[in-house]
Amino acid sequence: HLFVQSHRFPAVGTFGDYKQSGQRRHLSLHSTTNSVEMVERELENRRIEDTSKSMKPSQIRRVNTDFLLYRARSERRAFRKQPDGYSRERASMNAEKIFKRCLSMNPTDGRAYVGLGTLLMNQKRYGEGEELYEEATRMTAGSNPYIWTAWANLHAKQSNVGRARKLYEGAVTAKSSHAAAWHGWGLLEKRQGNLRRAADIFTKGIRNTEDAANPYLYQSLGLVLEQMGSIDEARQWYMRGTKASPLVSNSDALWHTWPKMEGKHGNADVVRTCTKRRLPSSKVTIHIPVWEWGEGQAITKRPTAVQD
Backbone phi, psi, residue 282, to 5°: -65, 145
Confidence of residue 308 (pLDDT cuts 50, 70, 90): very low
Q: Rounded to two decimals, what is the model's pTM?
A: 0.73
Mean predicted confidence (pLDDT) in 212-220: 95
For the segment 65-80, what is each residue's pLDDT rounded down to a tens digit? 888 999 999 999 989 8
Nearest CA to 182 out of 209, 151, 155, 162 is that of 209
Confidence of residue 83 (pLDDT cuts 50, 70, 90): confident
- 65 vs 201, more confident: 201
Domains (range + CATH), the chain: 58-144 (1.25.40.10), 176-281 (1.25.40.10)
For the segment 279-298, what is each residue's pLDDT rounded down to a tens digit? 554 554 545 555 554 555 54
Query: What pLDDT is attached to residue 84?
Result: 78
Mean predicted confidence (pLDDT) in 196-218: 96
For the segment 257-266, what is each residue's pLDDT rounded down to a tens digit? 999 999 999 8
Mean pLDDT of the chain: 80
Cβ atoms 132, 116 nearer than 8 A: yes
pLDDT of 208 over the 80 cut: yes
For the segment 229-269, what is each residue's pLDDT rounded down to a tens digit? 999 999 999 999 989 989 898 888 888 899 999 999 988 88
* Segment among 103-112, 172-181, 242-251 with least mean pLDDT: 242-251
Q: What's the Rg (C-alpha) of the chain?
A: 28
For the segment 123-140, what is each residue's pLDDT rounded down to a tens digit? 999 999 999 999 999 999
pLDDT of 49 over the 60 cut: no
C-alpha pair distances (Å), 44 with each of 38, 41, 51, 68, 120: 10, 5, 11, 10, 26
pLDDT of 10 over the 80 cut: no
Query: What pLDDT is attached to residue 85?
Result: 81
For the segment 36-48, what is each residue's pLDDT rounded down to a tens digit? 555 555 555 555 5
- Distance between CA 73 and CA 9 in Å, rounded? 53
